[in-house]
């Protein structure tokens, strides 16, 4: 394969697009960064076993530096049976042998830093794998033992304890309780293979502080915290009824499972550890709940500093909904002193280009369950809107979290064969939901090589033929490609960033959003007709390119395009 270029990594001075003299020394770099999420199994396979790995990631660092990202966030690469794609961790302080070694991790961090790219790793504190030594010990130990106390074991209810201890449901379908055969059941908010830890135990708390130190000592720059809002649970007897998961949170911290007040104390203790480092390590929490004012509390400066705001991702394509989301999110963040975050795609949701290319109101779960055949996707609309949304996201203050492949304009793979699906959601919902594999298909790097340059082996998920059209090599150097748009936008963002707050300006048409930070303006058209805008055009998402849309005093903003300009 042609992907491996470790020698290119060794000489970091120039990326061709920007000159790198080491990393930005600003300890607050993460407040306004472009962070690129890598789902390691699906990014690049360096050893040809069909599973992406650290060697593969290392080989692609020059590509990422060239893209201009400030940091990469690595989804879990720890030893794991992969019951939930690595979010079922056996050892939080090691590397899965299929993905590499600790030495290779150190090399990756060194190379990334030499290229000016920081490294964020995932911490998965709510649960472990059911093969974690602690859980194996718990299974082999009697009820009431210290080993069982690290998890959430309870006696069953009903005659003979044959019923689960409560009505709590797993996020992936079915009961959140699994019997172990001696009358006791253990809690798993996700898959059966992911038993929940008991954060009332000091040993559990201490162990995660050790994990934070372990990776911070190895030079990682920050942490993404999985299911950050679920650690503190009300486990008093009797367990309170809560059958609806976190979709209808009471919003006062009184839910037995999610977003309790006590959880914030945990992150205050984490912040103390993260601040022992120079520069202090950043952290970003994942709280996948309906976004509400409490969401932002995790980003308080004495806690994580940042929390994912998924409201842009959840917003329907439309001027009013996008503007509402941005306005609310900025205000809420400001109120707590945290740094804003923006996300359009991740490894957990159908890719945003696909979402935008389907008619409004399409039930995505049903669409995927039908292999994407029920409703046709308009690929032109998908690309147009995705490009415009990118310019909006990158114009906003705060950090933009990109998901691997979105810079290629990649679409969801909707028709993965059922017998290849690996997301536990598929089995746990009795095949009603297909799950998240469609956004996890290995990345197409080149159009004509085996596995589109992903690696020499058979990829763990099959790639469709149309991936050739999206391959990085196909887009490289093509001015109208998605990849080149991302490169240019990220590079320009670096120089255009202003400390000024966002100002909304009125356009004649309410279907055109117009915001400015100082003299840097961004317009996004949700309208169905052209608009003339005055100003010095810097960048357009319009595939026609700047030359074609420029006018004497400004430029033409065509439907579903966005532009950056100075005025
Ligand atoms: C959130 C992660 O993003 C998702 O992929 C995972 O399945 C759950 N947390 C459980 O760890």
Nearest atom within ligand 1 for CA of residue 286: 1
Ligand 1 pocket check for 39: Cβ under 6 Å = no
Q: Specify the pLDDT at position 18.
A: 39
Total-model pTM: 0.95
Q: What is the pLDDT of residue 17?
A: 37
What is the torsion angle, in degrees rounded to the nearest 10, for the CA atoms of residue 319, residue 321, residue 327 and residue 330? -120
CA angle (297 as vertex; 293, 298 as ends), nearest 5:
130
* Listed range (84-93, 274-283, 288-297) with the worst mean pLDDT: 288-297
> Ligand 1 atom closest to Cα of 190?
10
CA dihedral 365, 371, 376, 378 (to 10 degrees): 80
Q: Which one from 276, 302, 324, 363 is the annotated catalytic residue? A: 276
C-beta 367 within 6 A of ligand 1: no
Is the CA virtual torsion 16, 21, 26, 27 positive or negative? positive
Averaged pLDDT, 507-522? 95
Q: Which two tokens stand for residue 512?
A: 């055109």
Q: How confident is the model at residue 242 (pLDDT cuts 50, 70, 90)?
A: confident
In this prediction, residues 183-195 reach a mean pLDDT of 97
- Between 194-198, 281-285, 360-364, 400-404, the lowest mean confidence (pLDDT) is in 360-364
- The pLDDT tens digits for 477-511 are 999 999 999 999 999 999 999 889 999 999 889 99
87 close to 226: Cβ distance less than 8 angstroms: yes
Atom of ligand 1 nearest to the CA of 126: 11
Q: Which of 171, 190, 284 to mutate to test the pocket of ligand 1 (most atoms within 8 A of CB)?
A: 190
Query: In this model, does residue 16 exceed pLDDT 60?
Result: no
**Shortest-distance atom of ligand 1 to CA 227:** 9
Residue-wise pLDDT for 429-468, tens only, equals: 999 999 999 999 999 999 999 999 999 999 999 999 999 9
Question: Is pLDDT above 70 for 9?
Answer: no
For residue 22, pLDDT over 70 is answered with no
| Of 4-18, 131-145, 152-166, 527-541, minimum mean pLDDT range | 4-18
The reply to whether 412 belongs to the active site is: no
Share of the chain above pLDDT 70, in %: 95
pLDDT given at position 7: 30
Q: Which of 10-19, 97-106, 328-337 has the lowest mean pLDDT?
A: 10-19
Dihedral sign from CA coordinates of 488, 489, 491, 497: positive
Cα 552 to averaged position of ligand 1 atoms, centre (Å) = 51
Q: What is the pLDDT of residue 25?
A: 86
Taking the centre of ligand 1 as the mean of its atom positions, its distance from the CA of residue 252, in whole angstroms, is 24
Q: Taking residues 149-159, report their average pLDDT.
A: 96
Segment 43-58 shows an average pLDDT of 98
Q: Is 226 in the pocket of ligand 1 (CB under 6 A)?
A: yes
Is it the case that residue 249 has pLDDT exceeding 70?
yes
Nearest-angstrom CA–CA distance, 115 and 203:
38
User: How many angstroms separate the CA atoms of 224 and 343, rounded?
Assistant: 14
308 lines ligand 1 (CB under 6 A): no
Angstrom distances, CA of residue 22 to CA of 14, 74, 83: 10, 20, 38
Query: Would you state the pLDDT for residue 492?
Result: 98
Annotated active-site residue in 84, 193, 226, 423: 226
Contacting residues for 132 by C-beta, under 8 A, at least 6 apart: 89, 90, 91
Mean pLDDT taken over the chain: 94
Ligand 1 pocket mutation, candidates 226, 284, 285, 440, criterion most atoms within 8 A of CB: 226
Which pLDDT value is given to residue 177? 97
Give the whole-angstrom CA distance, residue 512 versus residue 525.
Answer: 4
Cα of 306 from ligand 1 centre, angstroms: 18
- CA-to-CA separations, 120 to 37, 71, 229, 543, in angstroms, rounded: 9, 7, 19, 33
Which CATH code fits 34-126+203-488? 3.20.20.80
Q: What is the CATH number of domain 133-187?
A: 3.90.400.10
CATH number listed for the domain at residues 500-566: 2.60.40.1180
Counting residues of the chain whose pLDDT is more than 90, the rounded percentage is 89
pLDDT of residue 3: 35
Domains in the chain: boundaries: 34-126+203-488, 133-187, 500-566
**Token pair 């989804």 is at which residue?**
75
* Cβ of 348 less than 6 Å from ligand 1: yes
For atom 3 of ligand 1, which residue has the closest CA? 348
Residue 337 Cα to ligand 1 midpoint, Å, equals 27
* Whether residue 415 lies in the annotated active site: no
Q: In ligand 1, which atom is closest to the CA atom of 436? A: 5
Residue 497: Cβ-neighbour burial (10 angstroms; 0-12, 13-18, 19+): middle
Distance of alpha carbon 291 from alpha carbon 451, whole angstroms: 38
Q: Check if the beta carbon of residue 408 is closer than 8 Å to that of residue 349.
A: no
Reading the block at residue 417, the tokens are 């064969």
Contact call for residues 473 and 446 (beta carbons, < 8 A): yes
Q: What is the pLDDT of residue 468?
A: 98
Give backbone dihedrals phi and psi of 400, rounded to 5 degrees, phi first: -100, 125
Given a cut of 60, whether residue 141 has pLDDT beyond it is yes
What is the distance in A from the centroid of ligand 1 to the CA of 191?
A: 10
pLDDT tens figures, 530-564:
999 999 999 999 999 999 999 999 999 999 999 99
Question: By C-alpha distance, which of 227, 261, 263 is closest to 245?
Answer: 227
């Amino acid at each position: 394969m042609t992907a491996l270029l470790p020698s290119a990594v060794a000489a970091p001075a120039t990326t061709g697009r920007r000159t790198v003299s080491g990393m930005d020394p600003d300890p607050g770099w993460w407040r306004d960064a472009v962070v690129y999420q890598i789902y390691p199994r699906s990014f690049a396979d360096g050893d040809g076993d069909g599973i992406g790995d650290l060697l593969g990631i290392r080989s692609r660092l020059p590509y990422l530096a060239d893209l201009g990202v400030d940091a990469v966030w690595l989804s879990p690469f720890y030893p794991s049976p992969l019951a939930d794609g690595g979010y079922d961790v056996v050892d939080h302080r090691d590397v899965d042998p299929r993905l590499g070694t600790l030495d290779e991790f150190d090399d990756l961090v060194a190379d990334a830093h030499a290229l000016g790219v920081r490294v964020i790793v995932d911490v998965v504190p709510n649960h472990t794998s059911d093969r974690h030594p602690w859980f194996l010990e718990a299974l082999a130990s009697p009820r009431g033992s210290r080993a069982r106390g690290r998890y959430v074991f309870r006696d069953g209810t009903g005659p003979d304890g044959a019923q689960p201890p409560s009505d709590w449901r797993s996020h992936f379908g079915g009961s959140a309780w699994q019997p172990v055969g001696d009358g006791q059941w253990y809690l798993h908010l996700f898959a059966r293979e992911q038993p929940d830890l008991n954060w009332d135990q000091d040993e559990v708390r201490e162990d995660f502080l050790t994990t934070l130190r372990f990776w911070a000592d190895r030079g990682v720059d920050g942490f993404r915290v999985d299911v950050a809002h679920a650690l503190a649970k009300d486990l008093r007897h009797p367990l309170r009824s809560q059958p609806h998961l976190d979709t209808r949170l009471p919003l006062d911290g009184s839910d037995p499972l999610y977003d309790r007040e006590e959880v914030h104390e945990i992150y205050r203790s984490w912040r103390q550890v993260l601040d022992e480092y120079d520069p202090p390590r950043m952290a970003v929490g994942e709280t996948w709940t309906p976004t509400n004012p409490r969401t932002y509390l995790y980003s308080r400066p004495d806690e994580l500093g940042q929390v994912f705001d998924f409201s842009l991702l959840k917003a329907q394509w439309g001027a009013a909904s996008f503007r509402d989301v941005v306005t609310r999110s900025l205000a809420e963040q400001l109120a707590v002193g945290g740094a804003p975050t923006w996300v359009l795609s991740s490894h957990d949701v159908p890719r945003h280009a696909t979402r935008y290319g389907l008619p409004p109101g399409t039930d995505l779960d049903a669409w995927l369950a039908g292999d994407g055949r029920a409703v046709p996707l308009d690929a032109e609309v998908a690309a147009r809107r995705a490009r415009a949304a990118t310019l909006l996201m990158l114009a906003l203050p705060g950090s933009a979290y990109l998901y691997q492949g979105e810079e290629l304009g990649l679409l969801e793979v909707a028709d993965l064969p059922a017998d290849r699906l690996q997301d536990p959601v598929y089995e746990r919902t009795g095949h009603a939901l297909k799950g998240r594999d469609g956004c996890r298909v290995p990345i197409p790097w080149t159009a004509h090589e085996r596995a589109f340059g992903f690696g020499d082996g058979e990829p763990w998920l099959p790639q469709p033929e149309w991936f050739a059209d999206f391959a990085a090599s196909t887009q490289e150097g093509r001015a109208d490609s998605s990849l080149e748009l991302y490169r240019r936008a990220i590079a320009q963002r670096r120089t255009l960033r202003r400390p000024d707050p966002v100002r909304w300006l009125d356009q004649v048409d309410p279907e055109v959003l117009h915001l400015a930070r100082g003299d840097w303006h961004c317009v996004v058209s949700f309208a169905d007709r052209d608009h003339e805008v005055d100003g010095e055009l810097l960048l357009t998402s319009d595939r026609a390119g700047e030359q074609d849309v420029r006018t004497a005093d400004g430029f033409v903003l065509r439907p579903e395009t966005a532009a950056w300009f100075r005025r």
